[in-house]
Amino acid sequence: MESLTAALTWENYDAVLFDLDGVLTATAKLHAVCWKQMFDEYLQQKSRERGEAFQPFDSDLDYRLYVDGKLRYEGVRSFLESRGIELPPGDPGDSPQVETICGLGNRKDKLVNELLAAGNVGVFEGSVSLVHHLRGQGIRTAVVSASKNCEAVLRAAGIADLFELWVDGKVAESLGLPGKPDPATFLKAAELLGVEPLRAVVVEDAISGVQAASRGGFALVIGIDRHGDAQALKENGADLVVRDLAELLPGKAGRT
């Protein structure tokens, strides 16, 4: 890992595609908290109905395995499947009260919006510094996020102007693109920038995200391990893993 980090030369690339939650902004935790609140309330109701013990949502493991990086309703479906619960898909317009995949997803989104409105959006300074550095070198930057709240988060964090474009959950829905771990959203961002995947780098913290980037044939997949996930990120497609993107700035890890 260290030698690859030290050998990284940004001039070899034309663009860097950044995931949002957990990579640029400290909003992965915000999502995890909302998923847990929504799923725990739902699982408690289910356990009462079924007369079974309540097994809460694990905001580390369940989040990482089933919802991190995925489109909202895919996250609901994937986690419920892990608990043997099948629900009708419903419709994105479903009210949060409705017991469908979309209804539950919208329940969680209501919580996300309450936290966003309360101003809970912090940035990772190391990430922002790296984006500034890349742009100073003429390297193109874009965001690829599953979140339909992507633009709101970028604006709340004050970093929207640092990116030429974003391919987010809204774009994926309007173009009918499958979410991560499918590479389609990353490939769309590269296409919109006019950059070959082989000249582009992807930065991701989610297992589904490094899988997507690896399947997309990108030049380099950088994993961010903020919680001791390094091995899982490598096994799923990361070429190198760092704890913070500040490690990739000139002068760090022996680079110039």
Ligand X SMILES: O=P(O)(O)OC[C@H]1O[C@@H](O)[C@H](O)[C@@H](O)[C@@H]1O
Which of 62, 68, 229, 239 contacts ligand X by CB under 6 A? 68
Q: Are 97 and 85 in contact (CB under 8 A)?
A: no
Which of 112, 193, 238, 248 contacts ligand X by CB under 6 A? 112
Instruction: Please give the angle made by the CA atoms of 24, 240 and 149, to the nearest 5 degrees.
Output: 25
Using rule CB under 6 A, residue 103 touches ligand X: no
The continuous run of DSSP H or E covering 111 comes out as helix 101-117
Q: How many residues does the chain have?
A: 256
CA distance 161 to 164: 7
- Asked about 91 being catalytic, the answer comes back as no
CA distance 157 to 168: 16
User: What mask of x and - would describe binding to ligand X in positions 138 to 167, judged by CB under 6 A?
Assistant: -------xxxxx------------------
Using rule CB under 6 A, residue 169 touches ligand X: yes
- Asked about 21 being catalytic, the answer comes back as yes
| Beta carbons within 8 Å of 191's beta carbon, 6+ residues apart | none
Count of residues near ligand X by CB under 6 A:
19
Using rule CB under 6 A, residue 67 touches ligand X: yes
Shortest distance in whole angstroms from residue 115 CB to ligand X: 11
Using rule CB under 6 A, residue 21 touches ligand X: yes
Q: Are 249 and 130 in contact (CB under 8 A)?
A: yes
Using rule CB under 6 A, residue 109 touches ligand X: yes
Residue with smaller CB distance to ligand X, 127 or 149: 149
Q: Which residues does the annotation mark as catalytic?
A: 19, 21
